[in-house]
Amino acid sequence: MEFWLNEKHSEGYSVNWKFTETIHTEQTSYQHLAVINTMDFGKALVLDGLVQTTEKDEFIYHEMIVHPILMSHPNPQKVLVIGGGDGGSIREVVKYASVQQADLIEIDENVILACRKYLPEISCALTDKRVRLFIEDGLEFVKRKQDYYDIVIVDSSDPIGPAEGLYTQEFYTDIHQALKPEGILVAQTGSPLFNKELLAAANQRISKLFPITETYLTAIPTYTGGFWTFTLGSKKYDPAQAKPGKKLLKAMNLKYYNEDIHKACFALPNFVRELLK
């Protein structure tokens, strides 16, 4: 017998995943959660029927949401990750010796528990002594912080369900206030093909607050359409002009991100430039 997960993204586009085993499934207080073993991409975390991360290509997303930003800050010490309960972004953050505190805010504790148990390669850094876990709403958490973080990473799912409020002007304003005078925000902003309105709105809202706003690209095979965007807001440093440290990169032994990728990811296709006008 064959098992297939049908991941519907629009009325005319869906992705079919062949999987061999359902490892875990539950209905949490916020969403349906499953861990499955796919035929081509290894184990995958699935929330409300949508694949969030897989063993085979997760490194692309997690390296690209973290390193272009942390490499651009001269001394990132306090980092906040909102969402990202799988632990992949935290894993990349704590590779920096300068980081003294890495806070992870996840509204659904069951995501953390499931990933710790079934996806240890991704969640392995959650036990790092610099990591602090907070099980609460990121929207409310950032309201209580002023001039505190060097970096804020919004590692959210799509703007539905528990992640819906993580794309609003109010939320970005609260993050701006939570950042230090040299702080940088980065958020995943979806597919430039399937999430045009989301990307354009996020870029516009962030640019109202930060003097430096950039959108950059990567390619993630398991995400909608392949293309994926991140949008940053910086109070001082321009990541598009930053030069990653060669010694630091060599010590990290990354799978995807490097000096050339850093420079290239800020080169946008014309259709993306048009979206951001």
Nearest in space to 45 (alpha carbons), one of 120, 135, 99, 136? 120
Residue type, 158: D
Six-digit token pair at 166?
Answer: 């993580």
SS (HEC) of the chain: CCEEEEEECCCCCEEEEEEEEEEEEEECCCCEEEEEEECCCEEEEEECCEEEEECCCHHHHHHHHHHHHHCCCCCCCEEEEEECCCCHHHHHHCCCCCCCEEEEECCCHHHHHHHHHHCHHHHHHHHCCCEEEECCCHHHHHHCCCCCEEEEEEECCCCCHHHHHHHCHHHHHHHHHHEEEEEEEEEEEECCCCCHHHHHHHHHHHHCCCCEEEEEEEECCCCCCCEEEEEEEECCCCHHHCCCCHHHHHHHCCCCCCHHHHHHCCCCCHHHHHHCC
Q: How far apart are CA 173 and CA 205, in angstroms?
A: 9
Q: Which residues are catalytic?
A: 155
